[in-house]
Amino acid sequence: MIDLKSVFPHLIGILLFVFGNILNVEDIPSKIIFEYVGLALFLSIFITFASILFAKKEEVISHLGKIFLSIIYIVVPFTMMVQIPFLNSSFNYINTTILGVFILIWTNDTFAFLIGKSFGKHKLLERISPNKTIEGFIGGMIFTFIVSFIIANQFIGMSKTQWIVIAGIVSIFGVLGDLIESMFKRQAGVKDSSNFIPGHGGFLDRFDSVIFAAPFIFIYLQFIQ
């Protein structure tokens, strides 16, 4: 969507993701690899800034803005999302945590669409996403809270209160993520972020809710440990 022509954003993104998760990998010399990855990350960022010396004056800010927007918007949320299963009292990997998060996101998206399509009359933010309604938003939130009670009884890794809070985060910030993704697509003048998944748009179209919700879930789980 933002038409990146440089390889450095992809390199920085990969290195940042590895740098943020490498300490969770067992049976490797973490300190040594951590230092090497950190050095490569620093050099990649340094070279990125140095490369703008050869760009046209009017493209400098736009070029850097695109690079670091892509990193903050995509790499940082996914780095935090990978950490979510480890955020428990024992700091062991618990797969039901991230599975529950995705179930809540899918529930919110599905019922917001169904209820909005069937009963929606009041637009949520028409200038950005004309199909989203207040009724759909409320309906999605209600069903997300209902499913959080069911999940709390099945996935015992976290308390019922924690799942309810996560349901609230998903309902609010998941919708915000969807709206922000729609805003980006409107600015770029495209319907889908890419043609990566035929009939479903691009990768970001499938993960727009979790991209924005994951950092807030990460912060919440980090805070309560």
Q: Where are the domains of the chain?
A: 1-84, 87-225
Q: Which tokens belong to 8?
A: 């450095």
Residue 84 near residue 96, CB atoms below 8 Å: no
Q: Is 201 helix (H, G, I), strand (E, B) or coil?
A: strand
pLDDT, block means (10 residues), the chain with 225 residues: 62 69 56 64 69 64 70 78 81 85 92 89 80 90 95 87 94 86 69 55 68 88 80
| Predicted local distance difference test score (pLDDT) of residue 122 | 83
Structure tokens at 22: 């490498």
In this prediction, residue 99 carries a pLDDT of 92
* Res 195: pLDDT: 57
pLDDT at 148: 95
| Confidence (pLDDT) at 145 | 96
Q: For residue 201, list its beta bridge partners.
A: 197
**pTM score, two decimals?**
0.76
